[in-house]
Amino acid sequence: MANNTFKEIAEVLLNAEKILIYPHINADGDTVGSAAALCHTLRRLGKTAYVLVEDELPSNLRFMDKGYFTFDDKVIEHPDVSVCVDCGDFGRLPKRKEKFLSAETTLCVDHHGTTQNFCDYNYVDPSAAATGELIYAIIKELVPEVDVETGEAIFTAITTDTGNFQYSNTTKNCHLIMAELFD
């Protein structure tokens, strides 16, 4: 199954009012940064958006929670859209699967080669070093400019999954995104 375009995914998000975002269990910087960046951007657009988690954020990543992350699956009773980030199957959100599927539309953004397109809309790119790269592209479709808070979250997503640009998955695109965020 082919990926949807970033523009198609952005249109789904723009047409929704209530959005739940799902990072994977045992969260790392990529999933937390991607979720925080997307949630913040959606709120900037006037959407009701939250990141639904089932375990505590690692202490070194809690600085990204500006009221976005919640354990309360009733924070949005009937989501228009459920978005899983950096999360390629239901095993990565075991206690939240039912809530994820309760949305009118499901969406997956991931960079793992093992991810199957299991949602209504999917963008899976194993050549991306981090899901943060893909979330950044979607955000660029949603808003004309990325603010500092979003930039910090995307920076965290990419730097953690590239080992501060030391791992072999580091690409030119990672550095181009960082240059854009620096500007």
Separation between Cα atoms, residue 169 and residue 182, nearest integer Å: 21
Output the CA–CA distances (angstroms, integers) from residue 64 to 15, 21, 27, 60, 164, in the order listed. Answer: 26, 14, 13, 9, 18
Read off the pLDDT of residues 32-49 as tens digits, 9 standing for 90 and up.
Answer: 999 999 999 999 999 999
Residue 142 is predicted with a pLDDT of 98
CB distance 36 to 64 below 8 Å: yes
By the 10 Å C-beta count (0-12 exposed, 13-18 middle, 19+ buried), 143 is classed as middle
Q: Which residues are registered as beta bridge partners of 19? A: 49, 81
Read off the pLDDT of residues 135-163 as tens digits, 9 standing for 90 and up.
Answer: 999 999 999 999 999 999 999 999 999 99
Q: Give the pLDDT band (50/70/90) at residue 1.
A: low
CB distance 100 to 44 below 8 Å: no
DSSP 8-state symbol, 146:
-
Separation between Cα atoms, residue 102 and residue 113, nearest integer Å: 26
Separation between Cα atoms, residue 57 and residue 116, nearest integer Å: 26
Number of H helices, E strands in the chain: 6, 6
Supply the pTM of this predicted model.
Answer: 0.97
Separation between Cα atoms, residue 43 and residue 72, nearest integer Å: 18
Q: Which residues are registered as beta bridge partners of 95? A: none
CB distance 153 to 40 below 8 Å: yes
The helix/strand/coil state of 20 is strand
What value does the mean pLDDT take over residues 8-18?
98
What value does the mean pLDDT take over residues 63-76?
97
